[in-house]
Structure 1
């Protein structure tokens, strides 16, 4: 019996985004639209006891500003619980105080004031899902907590050092807890001028309902407009929260670099996001954060380890992508010290001596200064080597930024399949003028990248 071969699937249209995920409808306050994020873990600096906030205010904030940082996100600064635990910053003992090992409330007030004077914004890390077991609310407000059938307060998820808060359920919300959490957050906005919060375990990983976030947001904004980052990738949290983690992208990026996936797998992730997230939703792009920093593969430890000896040349092209794809980039504490996992320097001026300091300064300047990057449309560009090269253009008005990265350990030539890209550009990292002809091509060294900034005629 004759069998008819199936017809090949038609080629997919080039990926183009001009609404969802491009942030053209900017979520959050307008002042936040072009601000890169830097996460600070005060513990690893090993400052003298009680001096961390003072030291950060005096010497580190000015250098972060010089590097191009916009948001400074501090991991939880509150007093830490010790009962059943080890002193995790995410085991909060008092939402309205500062951990004395780091400093005082006056120190923090001065830090925020100095940050604002420098043009920086401050995000506090907020832990609404659970508290330390020695948080006084366990005694004064046991009704705030989830209990088992025996009436005993239960731990939160897998974390034995924290007790689960209970926000209630539809028709039976725990409104006194909602009020308390709102008042404690508003306290830092009103009294200390903080600019927003990174909200821990904000989505399905915890027990904080989206109805709480939708109720909370306008009340915080009534005090002063704030920026809210969710430690979650749940689309339903938008628009109550402005930005979610793009947990999905880093494993794909490392798979591409390792040759386990083609570079077109990045298109697949962006398509999924565009079909899931509402217009204006900001996705935070990153390679590292405090949860991932201890894992060999810059992920959750569930993939082949990456050889980090002698540095990681993959980091540069991947951070170019994290900064130029639709979204907002995050640098983790010390990432600017080298293309390998490193801790930040205790002396802030050491950053300027880092071999990758010029790269990160220029990269963050790109995000802060080019509207095509922080709020422009996105169009994929065929390179003739799409399994290894990822190329695209960002546009806003007459401005256009062409980006091409080689995600392989061999030199590649990108032959760009878009004659409209011809014209004059400035090589952002090379510091020279370039002209692309009618059939533009780019020679990219192993792990190389090009960012060309130009204007349409």
Structure 2
């Protein structure tokens, strides 16, 4: 069933508070020109699919000019489109069509670092130590008798040291790949540049920004050591991400940046918003990124990291809702993204993983706040675990052996053979190969098929949009008494009540007293007011 959408776009300034945002990994969504790489024209062609799916907005991963060392997160020009993705004209056409279909567009902003091919960094290398050009980045002298040692013990998130030495002897910081030098955000020129970049895309009509590494732009004064490293202890510093304090993440001064950005966002009509990809050691510190003077949202990665147990989900949900109440902003819910293994595989892979992923989708979509859906999760796609090493492009793979490529394989649209309609008809090119088993998971194979994962998402998103108890952000949750291993909560608004029940107990569960089922991740047995909820499944029940 097609979801109802406001067309054209409404001017609701609070649209983001309860939106469902669909993440488009641009390289892997749809290829319009047949070169094997997804592009903006491909997104434009499939906008009706996203409207009918029932989402409110699209978050596009970086499409800016880039050498693509890190999939576009190494930006060489923040005000233009990389030729592999199209042109600014293509972007304008795509956003115009999206708005006409009632879809908003959120773009990825990468402010922590640029590409080493960015004109600023090229100029910094040419200008030498002490120059204004180098002052835009974090260049410094090394340690040791001749400066031959890195300035401190900081490590790259991608593995190895976070410092690279240049020909004149200085070192520059890169918390990610050496091709991604970190900017110095204490430099007023850097701050002014990004405020102008915000305005550039806001003027083109974007509805929001996802802030990459939002916790990372300010480094502790004096660049102090962490105090341990992989070489000395065998523990990687990245293991502290979200668990402890690091001198290069979540420094207090970072909030000055967002307090300067918020008035810019607020000066445009239609509820322009920003969501932080931020990691902090406590929920309280993460909550500092959100509020009327800073950003609108921050991703709730604890929900993504929850284990498949009622206790884990209950704890994460309670914590997130409590923190949301403190800051006066809705929380976000996310099960997968372009940096994490797909949750079908995290939950066990195969039939077990798919059942659990479908149940988790109903759990997520029943919660108050904003939900983020990663492309392909509505198809039940698993992680691709057997990509040949020579085809992997994640820069972290070369340094740690860990790879995010398995969740970035182009999604299947239709047909019996790879790449399943990713490109134009009969085109066989695809920057990463899709598995032979994905024919049955394609959009075409699942469309109109009762019980398919795609139709489950369409049904759930339609109900979420139209049901008074889910459409109202003010309808918080009330936990209900349930058997061990079951999660049950209700939401009530406008005289209607909707209850979500998830069975994580390991045995089928009898549920009664919640009303009639309106959607279920697996077929329910029983009639009337009593139903048998299968193992690893979820259902929504309605009572008016």
TM range (shorter): 0.7 to 0.9
1:221 aligns with 2:266: yes
**Residue of structure 1 aligned with 2:210, choices 198, 211, 234:** 198
Aligned mates of 1:296, 1:454 — CA distance in 2: 31
Kept after mapping to 1: 8 A contact 2:517/2:542? yes
Partner residue of 2:13?
A: 29
Partner residue of 2:83?
A: 100
1:41 aligns with 2:25: yes
1:162 aligns with 2:180: yes
Structure 1 pair 42–279 and aligned structure 2 pair: CA distance change class (3 A): same
Aligned mates of 2:38, 2:382 — CA distance in 1: 28
Kept after mapping to 2: 8 A contact 1:153/1:164? no
- 1:119, CA displacement in angstroms? 0.4
Partner residue of 1:445?
A: 534
Partner residue of 1:13?
A: none
- After TM superposition, the score normalised by the length of structure 1 is 0.78
> Which deviates further from its counterpart, 243-252 or 341-350?
341-350
Aligned mates of 2:72, 2:349 — CA distance in 1: 30
- After TM superposition, the score normalised by the length of structure 2 is 0.66
Structure 1 pair 331–274 and aligned structure 2 pair: CA distance change class (3 A): closer
Aligned mates of 2:255, 2:494 — CA distance in 1: 36
Q: Tell me the alpha carbon deviations over residues 14-67 of structure 1, each in whole angstroms, 9 at most, x when there is no partner.
A: xxxxxxxxxxxxxx9322334211111122246234872112212x11111101
Matches within 5 A, 1:275-314: 275-277=322-324, 278-293=326-341, 297-298=345-346, 306-308=348-350, 312-314=354-356
Q: Tell me the alpha carbon deviations over residues 232-289 of structure 1, each in whole angstroms, 9 at most, x when there is no partner.
A: 25211001222221111233243x1xxxxxx133232233334444343333212211
- 1:79, CA displacement in angstroms? 1.0
- 1:313, CA displacement in angstroms? 1.0
Partner residue of 2:255?
A: 210
Kept after mapping to 2: 8 A contact 1:71/1:123? yes
Partner residue of 1:146?
A: 138
- SS at the partner of 1:64? helix
Aligned mates of 1:264, 1:295 — CA distance in 2: 18
Aligned mates of 1:327, 1:123 — CA distance in 2: 17
Aligned mates of 1:338, 1:46 — CA distance in 2: 18
Higher strand share: 1
Kept after mapping to 1: 8 A contact 2:25/2:61? yes
Aligned mates of 1:265, 1:271 — CA distance in 2: 10
Partner residue of 1:6?
A: none
Kept after mapping to 1: 8 A contact 2:297/2:330? yes
Query: Which segments of 5 or more consecutive residues in structure 1 lack a partner in the other structure?
Result: 1-27, 169-173, 257-262, 299-304
- SS at the partner of 1:116? helix
Kept after mapping to 1: 8 A contact 2:345/2:382? no
**Residue of structure 2 aligned with 1:378, choices 470, 477, 483:** 477
Partner residue of 2:319?
A: 272
Kept after mapping to 2: 8 A contact 1:34/1:368? no
> Which deviates further from its counterpart, 110-119 or 69-78?
69-78
The number of residues matched between the two structures is 393
Matches within 5 A, 1:431-442: 436=529, 442=531
- SS at the partner of 1:312? helix
Kept after mapping to 1: 8 A contact 2:26/2:62? no
